[in-house]
Amino acid sequence: MTGALLEVSGVSVSFDGFRAINNLSFNIGPAELRAVIGPNGAGKTTFMDIVTGKTRPDEGRVLWGEKSISLLRMDEAAIARAGIGRKFQRPTVFEDQTVRDNLLMALKKDRGPLAVLFQRRNAADEARVEELAGQIGLVSELSRKSGELSHGQKQWLEIGMLLAQDPRLLLVDEPAAGMTPEEREHTTSLLVEAARTRAVVVVEHDMEFVRRLNCKVTVLHEGAVLAEGSLDHVTANQEVIEVYLGR
Amino acid sequence: MSFLRRNPSVPVFLGLLLVFTLTVTLMSEAYGGGLSTSFVKTLGKTLCLALVAVAMDLVWGYTGILSLGHFAFFGLGGYMIGMWLMYARTEAIVVSSMANAEIPATPQEITDAVGAQIFGVVGSSDFPAIWLFADSLAMQLVLVVAVPGLLALVFGWLAFRSRVTGVYLSILTQAMTLALSLYLFQNNSGLRGNNGLSGLQNLPGADAIPQSVMSVWFLWTSALALGLGYLLAAFVVSGKFGSVLRGIRDNEARVRFLGYPVERYKLFIFTLTAVMAGIAGALYYPQAGIINPAEIAPIASIYLAVWVAIGGRGRLYGAVIGAGFVSLVSTWFTGGRAPDIDLGFYTIKWVDWWTVLLGLSFVCVTIFAPKGIGGLVDLALSRRAPDRHGADLGPDLGSLREKEAEE
Amino acid sequence: MLRFLLAAVLFCASLAAPLRAQETLSPMQALMQAHAAEITKGSRKGIEPAITAIAGSGLPAAETVLEAWQAKEIYRRKDDGLFFRGEEPEKGLFRLHDLESGAAVGDYPKDAVDQLKPNSGIRAMIAAALVPFQLQSPDRVKRENALQAIQRDAEASHLAALRASIDSETDAGLKALKIRLERLLTIRFDPDEAARIDAIGYFSGDLSVDVRASLNPLLATRRLATTEGPAPEWNLAGEVEVGAGDFSPAQAYALLVGQGLARPRISPAEFRAALIAHIADGKVGGVPVAELDSEAARERAYAALADQGLVPATATAAELAQALDSHRFFDVYAEPAPAVTDAARATLHSIETKLALNQFADLSLDALSLASIYFLAAIGLAITFGVMGVINMAHGEFIMMGAYTGYVVQTLIPNYTVSILVALPLAFAVTFAAGVAMERLVIRWLYNRPLETLLATFGISIALQQIAKNIFGTQARPLTSPGWLDGALVLNDVVAISYIRIAIFVLALFFLGLFLFLMKRTRFGLDIRAVTQNPAMAASMGINPDRVNMLTFGLGSGIAGIAGVAIGLYAKVTSELGSDYIVQSFMTVVVGGVGNIWGALFGATMIGFLQKGIEVFNPSNTLAAQTYMIIFIIIFIQFRPRGIIALKGRAAGD
């Protein structure tokens, strides 16, 4: 498919005989918001692992960008530098470091060790960090250790770090888990805002949250795509209902 | 110097180091003081140990790689400088003894005689290939940096690229150290087997300078190396680089997903610290006078970790405090100066029981005071500035929480 | 008879000795009188004809005389110089018997007779001469002794005697031995080429050392130099290049000098001494002394001296090079017949092939026993690492504790069998308790901080090691195995394995079985597996992870104690015993993969075989073998970072 930012086709992977992903194909365009739903064990996290290079598939292709570069030969760091950002299910920020340091580390700059060794703080970076902190509502927390933040704040910090990387594709794993309704609201708007300029894939359990995202939905089941379309379309699908409600 | 302003511990440390060195100099035998030459040497050696401890802290305390191989790099540095010291000194002796011969010696005869002198103990007289540059101080000084650096580079590249981490990596580095020391224990290793290199305290061409003066020179050189090493280490960990290192320690995978080539960072810090350790070793062994493969054995590297842990890892001055404290206390106990304790039925001789005490106190530090002695500094500072924003989690607690989150 | 006549003539010629001429001497007496001078003198060189003459005389008394002589029972009567067999029925009194009839001649005091006291060299010669007699002896023991004598020191004369004795041999075992010896002697002594080749072929594939000892001399070579090609009569083994292998130019030149093909070159020391001896007015041969600091100047000076005739001429370096260039060097067999050397080569080749196979088998047995030791040492480590994620650096000291327990038990119970049977469970109990105590006091506080556990257990390790040193001292303590474990199971000349290693192997198998049973068939094993896979879930299912951890740690430590007893049986017990094995144990766990007994098994097997395999290439140097092994493991980790048996997917926990 032309114009796709990420093209996953025919990917399979198995762990000790268990097929976690089974001939999965998936495409997403350059500025698109997509929700991926599916029951436990459907392969949502493994799918993300494959795209971000954590897991190598047994077969299939994963192509990226206009030049259709294969991601399978790249390691995690190279994939991240190519423009794919990932937010984990549990908030993983560097708890021992301040919110500012966390954001500074994520800023899109040269990542090589020698370059980083001589990178010192400058006004432009500071301004960008302030701006990001404003977006995620953590301006007053910039100097605090991120380990002291509340759960929701950590989630936002992680989203902020993702945005700081300025990726072209954002993979977000259950961003709203454990959040209060107001925090969810905020998270929704952050994601919708982000999807104006880049592709965002949200993995989520919570149908209500998905509905609020108001986007195309892909349903995974047993490592393959079961249905795709608007939320109303897929929830009307008989197979999807069976999968969710049990046989 | 915004760097120094943001790292107030650096000028304080450098100042204290200068005061210490000056005081010791003025109290030394060479300047009419009461400190014996051997004690000045002990202090000089302790400074070198502090330098390798700083290196260890960089690689373990900041980056989270528990390397059990840095004392091997330390020893390699010592071996490299030792080769020149031993060669040049033996050559001087041989030349002066041959000067009385009836006919002047050919270069070949001199080399043969030097070879017979050095390698007689291992039943050989030929120079192995690795002694190619032994006659050149400049080349051996390059090797002091290059050999540990290259070994660390190759080993680190192999280990990090296969994503060996945690205790696996520790065991692998320990294996490397063991392999190296076993290799050096062989008589045909080219470095005199278990005899090691000796007579290193005599600088060639400096016979006129008494050891008391020499010890002060080495004290200053060691202090200079420690000061520069500390400055370099502080520079490395202060900025974003330090952020990345601590990130790698606390959550390596996350740093990787941020796009940082974690392996290259680890390799960089592993090699850099290996070079620092090599330099420290090159300054230590001329003061110790002898180096042999037992110095490289894995246990030495583990002791290095013990010093850093007791001093407090994740802070550079902690490493210095740990190395200084443990090695001086250990000198005190094992030197037979500590009074024996008579329990009536058994007399505790500290020469025998010191290691037991060290081992157990080390266990206690790990369990009860993971921040080590350096943690006391935190207590003092927070007492003076009680309005610190939130409590310091400390590196280990932070990583603990992270691990729990993973499981 | 001719010989007898000759002897008689000789005897007549040497009548100088004080004899009673009117008595006719028995043939044996006459023979001995003929050699009386040599016999009494007793020098090894001169006596040989005498012995040969007696042995070859064909006289019925020859055997008894030789035997008596060998046993120092031949006496010479002083007044007439006759020889008799004698005995000493009471102190200082000698009763003489006639050599042939054995009839008593009379009793004599000590000063009337001389006892012949052959030294050991002569006795050996007598023994060799006796062999043909003994081979035919009706006494089986004598025949066997004779064969052993031939095996020790064979002579050409034995061959015929041996052949003659084979048909009449009644004992099957001795007959086989005789046939075999006949073949060996044929190779060495038979003048007939075809017979020798036939005998050589007989031993194809025979592993015995004596066969190789007989064949190798056939292939002995000499190195010869020539300006032309090899001479046609040479049985050529091959041409040698100067500088190839261990044939240095200096050796080549020495060879040329030895064959008179080149001028000798004096040694560097003599060269220097000659120069020093001829220093005159600060010059040597016109070259100022101060300039003699290069080889070229010294050569010049020496040449000048030689021209003046002050020193012998010596070959120059250029001459040396030229001489080496113009000669070719060949290895030539001492054995002239090519057919014989070819046959010997072929047979040796077949032997070597078989030998290599057998050595491989022997080595595999060695490796297997080494692997079982590593397995015993590592299994506890693998359990604790796998189940609890804890690296126990003090594991080696638990091994040491087990070994010392064995030692202490042996000092209390003198019977080795009983003491070992007591020591095994006791060692388990002691280290089990130590392990549980350590888990409760230290490790419990450090879960989820693996690096700190490593360091804390290391602290315990150095403390335990020092305590052991303080209690037991630094010298090694013995742990003696019971008598029935001494010795080795010998399969043939090459393959052998000591019983103690077999016992350790059995012990390892036992623990493998026990462990598998424990893990797969018991409730405790189920709990362990549950806690390994998901501690939180296991806890919520009602398993107490604390208790499981504690018992697991105790179990792992207990097995270390057993391993300690096993290791102590064949290595000395010292306080460093544990640290000698700990790195190998770690390697075993790392190579095998954690949390899996099969991983520990494969890891131990691999490390054991690897170490033995490397030792083959560098047999004298176990240090180097260990070095290379560790390097190999570091490279191995490149390909299997998580060991041979790796957990995959989410269970891997990354």
Whether residue C446 and residue B366 make contact (CB cut-off 8 A), yes or no, is yes
User: What are the backbone dihedrals phi and psi of residue C408, each rounded to the nearest 5 degrees, phi first?
Assistant: -65, -45
Chain A residues with beta carbon closer than 8 angstroms to that of B240: 104-105, 116, 119-120
How far is the C-alpha of C331 from the C-alpha of A196, rounded, in Å?
88
Look at chain B and report how many structural domains it folds into.
1
Beta bridge partners, C287, equal C284
Question: Is residue B269 in a domain?
Answer: yes
Please provide the DSSP assignment of B291-355 as one string.
Answer: E-GGGGSHHHHHHHHHHHHHH-TTSHHHHHHHHHHHHHHHHHHHTT-SPPEE-SS-EE-HHHHHH
pLDDT of C17: 45
Cα–Cα distance measured from residue C381 to residue C578, given in angstroms and rounded to the nearest whole number: 13
Q: Which residues of B touch A74 (CB under 8 A)?
A: none
- Tell me the HSE value of A28 on the side-chain side, using a 13 A CA sphere: 26
Chain C residues inside the 8 Å CB shell of A18:
649
Q: What is the pLDDT of residues B275-289, one digit of tens each?
A: 999 999 999 999 999
Do C634 and B366 make contact, defined as CB atoms within 8 angstroms?
Answer: no
Neighbours of B16 (CB within 10 A): 12
B337 touches A at CB < 8 Å: no
Is position B228 within any domain? yes
Query: How much is the pLDDT for A245?
Result: 65
CA closest to C583 among chain B residues: B175
Chain C contact set for B253 (CB, 8 A): 654
Report pLDDT for C21: 44
Q: Percentage of chain A with pLDDT > 70?
A: 98
Q: How far apart are CA A86 and CA A71, in angstroms?
A: 15
**Could you report the per-residue pLDDT of C121-167, keeping only the tens digit for each?**
888 888 878 887 888 778 888 888 888 878 877 777 788 888 888 88
- pLDDT value, residue B392: 42
Q: Is A20 on the interface with C (CB under 8 A)?
A: yes
Report the residue of chain A nearest C649, measured CA to CA.
A15
Which residues neighbour B37 within 8 Å (Cβ) at sequence distance 6 or greater? B28, B29, B30, B211, B212, B215
Chain C nearest C-alpha distance from B368 (Å)? 9
Using a CB-CB cut-off of 8 Å, the residues of chain C touching B65 are none
Does residue B336 sit within a domain? Answer: no
- How many domains, in total, are found in chain A? 1
Integer CA distances (angstroms), C472 to C413, C419, C461, C467, C562, in order: 18, 19, 16, 8, 20
In a domain, A183, yes or no: yes
d(CA C466, CA C418): 30
> Closest approach of chain B CAs to the CA of A144, in angstroms?
7
Cα gap B313→B62, rounded to integer Å = 8
- The pLDDT, as a whole number, for residue B246 is 93
CA distance B359 to chain C (A): 4
Q: What average pLDDT does range B245-260 have in this prediction? A: 91
Minimum CA–CA partner of C654 in chain A:
A54
Residue A15, chain C, CB below 8 Å: the answer is yes
- Distance from the Cα of A215 to chain B's closest Cα (Å) equals 26
Partner-chain contact A111 B246, CB within 8 Å: no
* Residue A126 located in a structural domain: no
Report the pLDDT value the prediction gives residue C2, as an integer from 0 to 100. 55
**A20/C649 CB distance under 8 A:** yes
Contact across the interface for C634 and B175, Cβ inside 8 Å: yes
Q: What pLDDT does residue C8 have?
A: 54
Residues 354-413 of C with CB under 8 A from B: 385, 391, 393
Instruction: Residue window 70-129, chain B: list those with CB within 8 Å of chain C.
Output: 102-108
pLDDT at position B382: 67
Element (H, E) at C597: helix C597-617
A 10 A CB-CB count for B334 gives 15
Q: Is the pLDDT of residue C650 over 50?
A: no
Helix (H, G, I), strand (E, B) or coil at C282: coil
- Its sign, for the CA torsion A230, A236, A239, A241, is positive
Token digits of residue B57: 């802290």
Q: What is the mean pLDDT of chain C?
A: 82
Q: Which of A105, A112, A119 sits opposite B258 (nearest CB)?
A: A105
Closest CA to B231 of B396, B76, B3, B30: B3
Of C456, C536, C627, the CB nearest to B183: C627
Mean pLDDT for the stretch of residues B81-87: 93
The better pLDDT of the pair A132, B378 is held by A132
Query: Can you tell me the distance from the alpha carbon of B285 to that of B198, in angstroms, rounded to the nearest whole number?
Result: 9
Decide if pLDDT at B389 tops 80.
no
**Chain C (293-312) residues lying within 8 Å, Cβ to Cβ, of chain B:** 293-295, 298
Domain limits for position B83: 2-296
Which of B4, B157, B240, B400 is the best residue to mutate to test the A interface, defined by the most A CB atoms within 10 Å of its own CB?
B240
Whole-number pLDDT of residue C1? 53
Chain C nearest C-alpha distance from A72 (Å): 18
Q: Which residues of B touch C634 (CB under 8 A)?
A: 155, 158-159, 172, 175-176
Q: Would you say how long chain A is, in residues? A: 247
Q: Minimal Cα–Cα distance from C355 to chain A, Å?
A: 44
Q: What is the 3-state secondary structure (H, E, C) of C557-580?
A: HHHHHHHHHHHHHHCCECCCHHHH
pLDDT at C193: 83
Using an 8 Å CB-CB cutoff, list chain C residues near A20.
649
8 Å CB contact of B405 and A113: no
| Span B262-279, pLDDT tens digits | 999 999 999 999 999 999
- What the block records as the tokens of B390 is 């939130």
What's the length of chain B? 407
Tell me if B367 and C445 make a contact (CB, 8 A cut-off): yes
Q: How far is CA B19 from the centre of its chain?
A: 22
Which tops the pLDDT comparison, B235 or C385?
B235
Chain A residues inside the 8 Å CB shell of B253:
54, 76
Place of tokens 């008799």: C84
Task: Give the C window 615-654 contacts with A, CB below 8 Å.
Answer: 648-650
Chain B interface, best mutation among C397, C448, C644, by max B CB count within 10 A: C448
Residues of C in contact with A17 (CB under 8 A): none
Chains that touch C (3 or more CB pairs under 8 A): A, B
Q: What is the CATH number of the domain that holds A226?
A: 3.40.50.300
Give the best residue of A86, A94, A111 to mutate against chain B (max B CB count within 10 A). A94
Backbone angles phi, psi at C479, to 5 degrees: -125, 105
d(CA B379, CA B381): 6
Give, as one character, the DSSP assignment of residue C474: S
Q: Is the pLDDT of residue A247 over 50?
A: no
Ordered DSSP codes for B144-165: HHHHHHHHHHHHHHHHHHTT--
How many CB pairs lie under 8 A apart between chains A and B?
99
Segment C223-231 mean pLDDT = 81
C442 touches chain B (CB under 8 A): yes
Residue B242 near chain A (CB below 8 Å): no
Lowest-pLDDT choice from A117-131, B377-391, C97-111: B377-391
Name the β-bridge partners of A6: A28, A64
Tell if the CB–CB gap between B103 and C276 is shorter than 8 Å.
Answer: yes
Residue the block writes with tokens 């945690």:
B166
The C-alpha atoms of residue B306 and residue B212 are separated, in whole angstroms, by 31
**CB-based contact B235:B227 (threshold 8 Å):** no
Q: Which residues of C touch B105 (CB under 8 A)?
A: 293
Under the banding of pLDDT at 50, 70 and 90, the label for residue A246 is: low
Which residue of B6, B241, B258, B269 is the best one to mutate when testing the A interface, meaning the one whose CB has the most A CBs within 10 A?
A: B258
**Would A159 be classed as within a structural domain?**
yes
Contacts of C635 in chain B (CB under 8 A): 158
Q: Band of the pLDDT at B385, cuts 50, 70, 90?
A: very low
> What pLDDT score does B271 carry?
96
The three-state (H, E, C) secondary structure of C391-451, written as one string: CCCCHHHHHHHHHHHHHHHHHHCCCHHHHHHHHHHHHHHHHHHHHHHHHHHCHHHHCCCHH
- C650 vs chain A: nearest CA distance in angstroms? 9
Q: Is the dihedral of CA B318, B324, B328, B330 positive or negative?
A: positive
Q: Which residues contact C552 (CB under 8 A, 6 or more apart)?
A: C383, C384, C387, C388, C528, C531
Q: Which two tokens stand for residue C29?
A: 């007496």
pLDDT of B291 > 70? The answer is: yes
| Span C190-222, pLDDT tens digits | 888 888 888 888 888 787 877 888 888 888 888
Q: Give dist(CA B182, CA B54) in Å, integer.
A: 27
Predicted confidence (pLDDT) at residue B398 exceeds the cutoff of 80: no
Q: What ipTM was estimated for this complex?
A: 0.88
pLDDT at C20 over 70: no
Please report how the helices C545-570 and C577-592 are oriented relative to each other, as an axis angle in degrees rounded to 10.
120
Model confidence band, residue C23 (pLDDT cutoffs 50, 70, 90): low
Contact of A62 with A51, CB cutoff 8 Å:
yes
Please tell me the predicted confidence (pLDDT) of residue C255.
83
Question: Could you tell me if residue A172 is inside a domain?
Answer: yes
State both tokens at B138.
Answer: 């400049």
Which residues form the domain of A238? 6-95+151-245
Averaged over C590-597, what is the pLDDT?
76
**Cβ–Cβ pairs < 8 A, chains B and C:** 166
In this predicted model, which residue has the larger pLDDT, C650 or A246? Answer: A246
Q: Flag whether B243 is in a domain.
A: yes
- CA-nearest of C608, C651, C654, C650 to C633 is C608
Quote the radius of gyration of chain C (alpha carbons, Å).
38
- Look at phi and psi of residue B348 and say left if phi exceeds 0, alpha if psi is from -120 to 50, else beta: beta
Dihedrals φ, ψ of B275, to 5°? -65, -45
Q: Where are the alpha helices (DSSP H) in A108-173?
A: 113-118, 123-136, 151-164
CA distance C389 to chain B (A): 9
Residue A145 included in any domain: no
Q: Which domains does chain C have, with CATH numbers?
A: 2-124 (no CATH), 136-219 (no CATH), 221-333 (no CATH), 358-652 (1.10.3470)
Q: How many residues does chain C have?
A: 654
Window 76-95 of A: residues touching B by CB (8 A cutoff) are 76-78, 80-81, 85-86, 88, 90, 92-95
CA distance C541 to chain A (A): 21
Structure confidence by residue, pLDDT tens digits, C424-483: 999 999 999 999 999 999 888 887 787 888 888 988 998 999 999 999 988 888 888 888
The residue to which tokens 């013995």 are assigned: C478
A109, burial (CB in 10 Å: exposed 0-12, middle 13-18, buried 19+): middle
pLDDT of residue C13: 47
What subunits make at least 3 CB pairs under 8 angstroms with A?
B, C
